[in-house]
Amino acid sequence: MQRRDFVKKVGAGGLALSAGLTGTVRAKSDAEFKWKMVTTWPKNFPGLGTGANRLAELIGEMSGGRIQVKVYGATELVPALEVFDAVSRGTAEMGHGAAYYWKGKSEAAQFFSTVPFGLTAQEINGWFYYGGGLELWQELYGQFGLIPAPAGNSGVQMGGWFNKEIKSVEDLKGLKMRIPGLGGEVLTRAGGTAVNLPGGELFTALQSGLIDATEWVGPYNDLAFGLYKAAKYYYYPGWHEPGTCLEAMINKKAFEALPKDLQSIVLNACKVVNQDMLAEFTARNPGALQDLVKKHGVELRRFPDDVIKKLKQLSDEVVAEIGQKDEFSKKVYASYAKFLQQCREYSGVSELAYLIARDRT
């Protein structure tokens, strides 16, 4: 009887201790984190803005509500082109944008968004996840207290909206065009003037004549912005943005404050959204292009071969020069160029060969 009473007491104490320990662990694992995400996109803008919304929602769902992310569109909390600094200093825990907006921080940042005549969406994902690209990106952003992650891709973009026809290289001279990143430098060397404006200002700038042309994304997004009301000619291909990666940037201190399981959830949510956005653009662009042409009378034009040839020549020069700016840029350029060459060789007998066989026979 005494032994039984002793076992009961020890058992009760053990259960109590176990319950106490479990309660402690549960309290820690159930901690909630309230984050802010600032974006370079207008609030709820189709594709880009909604992609940021999906990322926030997915993090909340996958974490069982332990991380709650509130999304702020451009200018709601900070201006569109101040997202990088806002996340770096901790004003917001996350940001959603595109790395070529931050070339003022490092010229090499542009390689992590898109390169004229460079990697497609499928190829740049290969470089990021299996070719060393993501590690280089993390090294760069780590200097600013940030952790980057691919979080969306537009696929091959359109060449842009123009208020005049582009019939030769001469027509690029004096052209004022909204075009960011490396593509903007290429246009400048072709004799044009590159203007960097956030998406929310494009329609007014084009309609008012502040700019003569603008690129944005592709039919799905361009239709939503109503750019067809401000320009007549819609050019392709998007030589300057063959597969533009959208990014999530995470404040490093905020990320490291998360338990390991939540860290994994945040990064894997970025991977899901990276794939989802590309799938959405792939599904919606064809119908949107049909609407632009058939319903709104947009004149679809292909850049003349001599224009494409000149832009390719200038692009190669610009990218090579950027790749020699400093030691880190050299390292990024070498990695990117090697992966691009491998993709070129393989695509000739895979995607390119298949598409020619499918569409031209």
Lowest mean pLDDT among 18-32, 124-138, 268-282: 18-32
Domain assignments of the chain as residue spans, ordered by start:
160-240+295-327
195 vs 181: CA distance, rounded Å: 10
Closest CA to 245 of 225, 217, 220, 219: 217
Share of the chain above pLDDT 90, in %: 88
56 CB-near residues (< 8 Å, 6+ apart):
37, 69, 70, 71
Q: What is the pLDDT of residue 196?
A: 86
Predicted local distance difference test score (pLDDT) of residue 127: 98
Query: How do residues 220-239 score in pLDDT, each as one tens digit?
Result: 999 999 999 999 999 999 99
Q: What is the pLDDT of residues 154-206, one digit of tens each?
A: 999 999 999 999 999 999 999 999 998 899 999 999 999 999 888 889 999 99
| Across 123-151, average pLDDT | 98
Cα distances (Å, whole numbers) of residue 260 to 72, 92, 341 = 26, 21, 37
Closest CA to 144 of 199, 105, 188, 115: 105
Token pair, residue 210, equals 């502040």
Q: What pLDDT shows up at residue 29?
A: 55
Query: Is pLDDT of 8 > 50?
Result: no
Question: According to the CATH classification, is domain 160-240+295-327 in 3.40.190.10?
Answer: yes
Q: What's the whole-model pTM score?
A: 0.88
Distance CA 155, CA 35 (A): 29
> Do residues 80 and 199 touch, judged by C-beta distance below 8 A?
yes
Burial class (CB within 10 angstroms; exposed 0-12, middle 13-18, buried 19+) of 109: buried
Residues 154 and 47 sit within 8 Å (Cβ to Cβ): yes
Does residue 10 have a pLDDT over 70?
no
Say yes or no to pLDDT of 19 above 80.
no
Name the β-bridge partners of 195: 178
